[in-house]
Structure 1
């Protein structure tokens, strides 16, 4: 490391912190990519409200972060601004032993086999929604995908079945989840929720809590609790190492986390997939054939749909980076970084690097077919002990919903320019909502849902 290791921080833009914050809020991927071009693979940002961040794009350095001690690299603290919405015991905002124990309790609910049992429900929800799509007129598909992914979580994760409560949850959750930058101020500073402008956020949170607590109470008294397959039932049954189970408050915090983290993220990935496919006619045609093959039980069809999902998440990562607050000084990228700053493995930087991917700007799902992507070269779900709990759930949901779309409607292709990435709270969405046009509906044989072959999430869970 030599002399360089004595330098505390890598170079970076000298703009005032409020201006860097404004540029991040408006131009996140473009601003960060410009910094990489100018300053190299490690650079320092100073961002108002967040402090000092060191971005990393070298997989070898990112591996050190993901493999590092969770007591040195605090992800929960990096997510602390979400605690006002998610709750103080959310798996996203806790660290150290408490996090390890909570994660151990939650993982079985998202095991591949548990998710595979939910694929028929996912397909049924998707096909019912697709049947409402207009034919012959352009429309933004992102809101439709949000409806599908919210319904999937309500039915498979929370296990809601009471019709009135489902209706109420369908109404309140989008209001709570479509957080404006203005409302996010009151999430970061909960005391603002008592003030007029932000009272509606408080009302929505109270209504969501009422419904979720009612769902928890129902599940606790369900005579069939032991055999239920929804994630909530599994969380109620899951005991910690000390034999204790989660309190109602802890359960509520995990449910709201799964709703927030697993709903808009997956919906956005689906919207980007259709935005990309409709601009690449040959790939779209191949994906349609794969959807038909998948529906017939052909594993190769599944593999190509998985590749479409993986390549979409590479070229249009829903979350651009993940953060870790350093609890003690650390040597990374040739610098001795001080305690208290945040290191940010740049997911979008790695995914767009020509060192990792030939022609990184090219949408090419074939590159993902049977490709052995490493955990620090393809990392849309973060990594290490904080890799998204719902990664398997999200990937299977992406495949199932894409399969249903591609086999049920014929999509028009377009020569329009690709949609820009727009910053929406902590994710990157298509700036026009991923506008598509359905040319025609297809006759789908009324067979049972496709076989459940297997190949919400936010990062740092």
Structure 2
């Protein structure tokens, strides 16, 4: 059995102790469909299903999910989100809430760990994403963005999602791995893309190993084996490097943990390194790429806001460009919800919930509530500059002690890319039907790729 096969077997999302079966009367109301149908609706048809359930059942409702007998209670008000994010991390376990990612991310992933293990992993990774580190990465992001933008053909419509995915993948490969060898980059790019571009059915299939002998599940497992092979080869090669102390990439930083007996931490094993690096690699590029593609698409549909963004670019007004990114994330949520698993009974919004239930704020509903955002269906970046965005209403990065460590990096990268695009080009959207989201793995992306056309300024 390979190390990949061992991980897939151990990290089955529906295996092990899922908590006691949850009686229907102990939870808020929700649909009475079979758990399989509700799971499919939640994962595959979330943009229809979640708003419909909100309209029917109110501000908190229960979705029965696989394995049969498990449940997710979604909350939709800012005070609900505040309570969940402020909840005792020993009770509100995020790692177990992200279990569906386990086969890909691995047990040591920052997203899969809880309690002391999570605190340690976060402490080790944070120096790579603090203010000083972000400042150091900015020139790299700008150079990569400028090179990418220089390849575009004016006047020819293209899928901005594809180009933003390529750009942000290049950034994260260099920031996380410090890889500059073109042959290694050429190996990694298609493997990462195949890991990201999978349907929700593949994710549900992780819980049923017999599926991995067939079709797309079999291909996905083989891709995981290949990705692991390249990852471990890069880790082994970097361990032999003699200039780690002069490198600033995340892998080199992590390899120095516990070096020469310094500090209280033990050196990270190859498996620990692999899990953290895959997590950063996958979580660190697709979400930003999607937000950027929607940002370009929305600017291309609104000549007035495009002119305002161009002016901000010319004047060095990064605050407005950051507001464009934030509004893109608000109007087009990439992730639908933030999930915690209750390790003990808890009360949220006056609702008493038993141990074993999954709970979480719905990002989809929070970002589209009229009570949270005036004219929620309108793309208006100015709302983030006017002081009208209340706490716990804009939550694309989660909150509390589990807030995404890459939030600052994502916004810095988005601003740098928008600046390079708008310095060189005007952006428009070609004629055709409006784009709308489709579900890809656990994220939502523009169904038609957020097509735009650029012309020289």
What TM-score does the superposition give when structure 2 sets the normalisation length? 0.89
Show the counterpart of 1:441: 456
Over 3 Å counting, the alpha-carbon distance change for 1:250 and 1:370 in structure 2 is farther
Show the counterpart of 2:118: 99
Structure 1 SS opposite 2:143: helix
Structure 2 SS opposite 1:260: helix
Structure 2 SS opposite 1:117: helix
Unmatched runs of 5 consecutive residues or more in structure 2: 1-24
Indicate conservation of the 8 Å contact 2:39/2:65, yes or no.
yes
Following superposition, the deviation at residue 27 of structure 1 comes to 2.6
**1:351 lines up with 2:371 in the alignment:** no
Per-residue displacement from partner, 1:101-139 (whole Å, max 9, x unpaired)?
111111111112201211111111112222222322222
Following superposition, the deviation at residue 354 of structure 1 comes to 1.5
With 367-376 and 158-167 compared, the bigger mean Cα shift is at 367-376
Question: Could you say what the CA RMSD is over the residues aligned between the two structures, in angstroms?
Answer: 2.1
Please point out which of 261, 279, 285 is paired with 1:257: 279
Following superposition, the deviation at residue 183 of structure 1 comes to 3.1
How far, CA to CA, are the matches of 2:250 and 2:190 in structure 1?
A: 21
**1:411 lines up with 2:427 in the alignment:** yes
Show the counterpart of 1:40: 58
Following superposition, the deviation at residue 214 of structure 1 comes to 2.2
Structure 2 SS opposite 1:69: coil
How far, CA to CA, are the matches of 1:11 and 1:183 in structure 2?
A: 29
What TM-score does the superposition give when structure 1 sets the normalisation length? 0.88
Please point out which of 394, 417, 420 is paired with 1:401: 417
Show the counterpart of 1:114: 133
How far, CA to CA, are the matches of 1:196 and 1:363 in structure 2?
A: 41
Show the counterpart of 1:59: 78
Indicate conservation of the 8 Å contact 1:83/1:188, yes or no.
no
Show the counterpart of 2:3: none
How far, CA to CA, are the matches of 1:81 and 1:29 in structure 2?
A: 20
Alignment of 1:17-166 (within 5 A): 17-49=35-67, 51-166=70-185
Over 3 Å counting, the alpha-carbon distance change for 1:102 and 1:410 in structure 2 is same
Between Structure 1 and Structure 2, how many residues are aligned? 429
Per-residue displacement from partner, 1:248-277 (whole Å, max 9, x unpaired)?
110011111111111211111111111211
Show the counterpart of 1:333: 349
Show the counterpart of 2:376: 360
**1:233 lines up with 2:249 in the alignment:** no
Alignment of 1:155-234 (within 5 A): 155-189=174-208, 192-193=211-212, 198-234=217-253
Per-residue displacement from partner, 1:164-202 (whole Å, max 9, x unpaired)?
111111232212221233432454455654556533323
How far, CA to CA, are the matches of 1:422 and 1:196 in structure 2?
A: 22
Show the counterpart of 1:317: 333
How far, CA to CA, are the matches of 1:101 and 1:197 in structure 2?
A: 36
Over 3 Å counting, the alpha-carbon distance change for 1:340 and 1:244 in structure 2 is same
How far, CA to CA, are the matches of 2:315 and 2:206 in structure 1?
A: 45
How far, CA to CA, are the matches of 2:437 and 2:390 in structure 1?
A: 25
**1:291 lines up with 2:313 in the alignment:** yes
Per-residue displacement from partner, 1:276-324 (whole Å, max 9, x unpaired)?
1111110011111212222xxxxxx101001101111111111110111
How far, CA to CA, are the matches of 1:35 and 1:199 in structure 2?
A: 34
Unmatched runs of 5 consecutive residues or more in structure 1: 1-6, 295-300, 443-461
With 271-280 and 40-49 compared, the bigger mean Cα shift is at 40-49
